[in-house]
Amino acid sequence: MYIYNLPNQYSPEMILLFLWQTIKKIP
Higher pLDDT pick, 26 / 5: 26
Mean pLDDT, all residues of the chain: 74
- pTM for the predicted model, two decimal places: 0.44
Q: What are the φ/ψ torsions at residue 8 (nearest 5 degrees)?
A: -65, -15
Range of the domain at 5: 1-27
Count of other CB atoms within 10 angstroms of residue 26: 5
pLDDT score of 14:
80
Higher pLDDT pick, 24 / 8: 24
d(CA 22, CA 1): 13
* Domains: count for the chain: 1
The mean pLDDT of 1-27, rounded to a whole number, is 74
**Amino acid of residue 24:** K
